[in-house]
Chain A
Amino acid sequence: MSKAMEATVSKKSLRDNPLVWPLAGLALVVAFNLVTGPEFFSVSVRDGHLYGNLVDIFSQGARVMLLALGMTLVIATGGVDLSVGAVMAIGGALCATLVTQLGYGLYLALPLTLLMAGALGFFNGAMVVAGRIQPIIATLILMVAGRGVALLITDSDVVKIQDPAFLYLGKGYILGVPFSLWLVAAVFTVMALLIRKTALGLLIEAVGDNEHASRFSGIEAGRLKLIVYAVCGALAGMAGVLDAASVSAADPMRVGELKELDAIFAVVIGGTALTGGRFLLFGSILGAILLQALTLTLYNAGVPAAVAPVPKAIVIVGVCLLQSDRFRKQISNIIKIGGKAS
């Protein structure tokens, strides 16, 4: 009997596994490319490192992946962080200014930058926790101000980066694989370990599920939120540094513009509910990959840039639909009927 139960459990868990749906979306994008241009998948070795669209998906998607990882935690606590794009700009600007203008070594500039970005995230958290301001509004403030701060840091200039160590962050390869990918993998591993090997993940989920009850269960929701917002800020700062490194310049005006939407999109596509509670770090990574694959596909298909948002919308809503029980039931009914008819 217990075996039978196990069987039903595992069967159920496959269908209910939220990772299935971003994967399905990804499969769709892959299928589209297989039909329209299989060269999309060709990966070769050039100058001793891997070269091809598949590599680009990861190296270009690294920034959104970092943002999405932090955003996942924030959303899990029932919040949202709109300021990540602006914090990216600050991160890039600060690190570049420290290295280029003030002559700091990267080993010093990078930790300082991350600290600062973390502090900004902490400020968001403090407004949510202590100020009891709704997260959208609390982080909207930094979203507006952040770009101004970045402009101040660079004196409204684009800072050019020549420091080889700095550039390595964006352009280096280890074992033929882009450094940024290693970085994301490392961040993901550390976070996943911290969250699943300790009880942090569960506590975050509890706070997001029922904050009031979490207080009665002795969870310090405030402190958790502060940590989570700070982490999100620091990761956004790191994403900004990566962005600067990959184009050899920190542009306070345009870096991270609208990236907050991408990050939120990646998180939710990845199966984390916007209402908080259960979250899936790996799902968010998949969501970011889907997003980047979609962008590249649109480039490749030569879809006019102005119209590109339309297919993007269709994918967003499509993946949403796949996640909906009702829709799945309808589809399977249609398939059943079709099966019976034939």
Chain B
Amino acid sequence: MSKDATPLLKVSGLCKRFGSVQALSDVSFELRAGEIHSLLGENGAGKSTTIKCITGVHRPESGTVELNGREIAPRSPREAELSGIGTVYQEVNLLPNLSVLENIVLGRVKTGALGRIDWKDARRRAKAALGKLEMDIDLEARLSSLPVAMQQLVALARALEVDSKVLILDEPTASLDEAEVENLFRVMNLLRDKGIGIIFITHFLDQVFRMSDRMTVLRNGRYIVTRDAKGLSKQDLLQDMLGKAFEEMQSRGAALDAIAEDRAGRATQLQVRSLGAPGKIDSLELELREGEVVGLAGLLGSGRTECARLIFGVDKATAGSLELKGKQVKQGVPSESIREGIMLASEDRKAEGIFPHLTVRENMMIALQSRRGALNPVSREEQDAIAEKYIKAMRIKTSGPEAKIKELSGGNQQKVLLARWLAAEPKVLILDEPTRGIDIGARAEIEKLIESLSEDGLSMIMISSEMDEEVRCCHRVLVLRDRKVIGELRGSAITESAIVRKIADHE
């Protein structure tokens, strides 16, 4: 490492504790001007906490942050912003009730006489910021009317709007599709060339290797190492992150054909007959066999989530029907679906998943409980057993089963939610973006888990924005476009290129 120039941002010896959890102990690294510096680590390694200590959301117990050689100690994100650090936080933290415009410029608007906001100037600046992303979103639209990915871009536009010297992106690509990711990368390169230092956090190793100049690895809240990206092997990096050697899931290739064949011959678990609702999905037909994993593939907005919601019943269908094991299931009543064994792990963990103030244990057993009915409680022993089992099995990083789930890192919350559904013993499990925000180690474990569950006879529908994941996990993939199923792939015919071709070719 060259130490000739003063680093743009220098973090030294950060320590931060939450109650009994030591989230950070002695984290140090340097960010140079004009570099993209990745921050890597498993879920709960302390990446987000590091960021929040830098930007004044949390006050570290000890440690310093220097910007251009001058020590700064921002007491709020606002002060950090003023000193030139722009941030996009992990959870999309915007204001759903306000317009896109305000989400981009609020906090930095100019005012004229009588404290009157200069909306004209604000609009111009917001347009410019979106322009940097080559995006054109209706500035007056209410943010809540946009899909999550769009909101992510708005957050980015907001961070770009100030002339930051340092830009921090905490998992910005988690909910973007490929084209959007490309777009983001283009902007990031542009900014790097302008001499801005970028801290980039993501669980996608491909993206890390493609974009970073250097990378710093954290493990259990400790600084492990900083490496140059050039000449680094993926294996070495994973070794740093996990603290042990890593074995990657292999695509099962031809072996998959045999499995797919086997599943296709099994009894029908779920039969979906021309299920549809206007504005959601057109007449969905799906036959799911025991132990079969069916993927839904498509671009953002192609209607995959809508399919999942209709089958699970949080949205009411206007046409069609569902049969589980040949028995008609009442559509449109989630509690009924769960009782029958059809469950959905939703993609929106904050709004539709976690009970923030309940404990990890309670969050895990709640679906099982509502399946059994309120008057038939899951005994405490059973609850403890469930919690212990899944915390261990999924390597959930928590101070214990009695911690409030809101105290867990994003990825670990996701794992708790998966445990919730598995504990409820589903017959059909719909997984909508099950690995969003989950680190690479855990991701491999989840893929393994899906495989073993499938062997045990659980039928699954899987939705993932990462096609390679569907390629590895699914026995069959339905390709959607414009809210319609336009094709199907099976066994070893499932490849990324095949899926993309299907989407593109369809007239």
Contacts and interface: CB of A to CB of B under 8 A. Distances in A.
Chains A and B directly touch (beta carbon < 8 Å) = yes
Interface of A: 5, 8-9, 12, 197-200, 202-203, 205-206, 209-210, 212-220, 224, 277-278
B369 A199 contact: yes
B495 interface: no
B374 A203 contact: yes
A8 to B, nearest CB: 7
B355 interface: yes
Contact of A216 (B19, B352, B357, B371): B352
B358 interface: yes
A216 B335 contact: no
A12 B400 CA distance: 14
B352 A198 contact: no
8 contacts: A5-B400, A199-B375, A202-B362, A203-B366, A203-B370, A206-B366, A218-B339, A218-B367
A223 B390 CA distance: 31
B127 to A, nearest CB: 34
Contacts of B356: 209-210
Contact of B378 (A9, A199, A214, A224): A199
Contacts of A214: 355
A206 B358 contact: yes
A218 B338 contact: yes
A64 B369 CA distance: 33
A16 to B, nearest CB: 10
Contact of B420 (A209, A210, A217): A217
A212 B351 contact: yes
Given A202-B366, A206-B366, A216 B353 contact: yes
Interface in B276-323: 314
Interface of B: 19-20, 314, 334-335, 337-339, 344, 346, 351-358, 362, 366-367, 369-372, 374-378, 400, 402, 420
B334 A215 contact: yes
B378 A216 contact: no
Contacts of A220: 335, 370
A198 B373 CA distance: 9
Contacts of A219: 335, 366, 370
B436 to A, nearest CB: 16
B367 A217 contact: yes
A272 to B, nearest CB: 12
Nearest to B399: A5
The 6 closest A-B pairs by CB, nearest first: A218-B338, A218-B370, A209-B355, A218-B335, A199-B377, A277-B357
Contacts of B314: 215-216
A219 B370 CA distance: 6
Which one of A12, A210, A215 has the greatest number of beta carbons of chain B within 10 Å?
Answer: A210
A6 to B, nearest CB: 11
A213 B370 contact: no
A333 to B, nearest CB: 16
Nearest to A215: B334
A205 B362 CA distance: 10
B170 to A, nearest CB: 23
A197 B377 CA distance: 7
Which one of B335, B362, B378 has the greatest number of beta carbons of chain A within 10 Å?
Answer: B335
Contacts of B369: 199, 202-203
Contacts of B19: 12
A8 B20 contact: yes
Nearest to B375: A198
Nearest to B424: A218
A200 to B, nearest CB: 5
Contact of A217 (B338, B400, B402): B338
A192 B402 CA distance: 21
Which one of A200, A217, A220 has the greatest number of beta carbons of chain B within 10 Å?
Answer: A217
Given A206-B355, A209-B358, A216 B366 contact: no
Nearest to B312: A216
Nearest to B373: A199
A217 B377 contact: no
A73 to B, nearest CB: 13
Contacts of A198: 374-377
A11 to B, nearest CB: 11
A298 B366 CA distance: 46
Nearest to A221: B335
Given A200-B375, A213-B352, A218-B371, 5 more contacts: A12-B19, A198-B376, A206-B355, A213-B351, A218-B338
Which one of A205, A214, A218, A278 has the greatest number of beta carbons of chain B within 10 Å?
Answer: A218
Contacts of B374: 198-200, 203, 224
B334 A213 contact: no
A313 to B, nearest CB: 29
Contacts of A9: 402
A5 B337 CA distance: 40
Nearest to B402: A9
A8 B19 CA distance: 11
Given A198-B377, A202-B362, A210 B354 contact: yes
Contacts of B378: 199
A278 B372 CA distance: 22
A299 to B, nearest CB: 39
A210 B355 contact: yes
Nearest to A218: B338
Contacts of A218: 334-335, 337-339, 367, 370-371
Contacts of B372: 199
A216 B338 CA distance: 9
Nearest to B345: A216
Contacts of B370: 203, 217-220
Contacts of A12: 19-20
Nearest to A207: B355
A203 to B, nearest CB: 5
A203 B371 CA distance: 12
Contacts of B362: 202, 206
A213 B354 contact: yes
Contacts of A209: 355-358
A32 B100 CA distance: 57
B353 A213 contact: yes
A219 B358 CA distance: 15
A217 B357 CA distance: 16
Nearest to A216: B352
Contacts of B337: 218
Nearest to A13: B402
B375 A216 contact: no
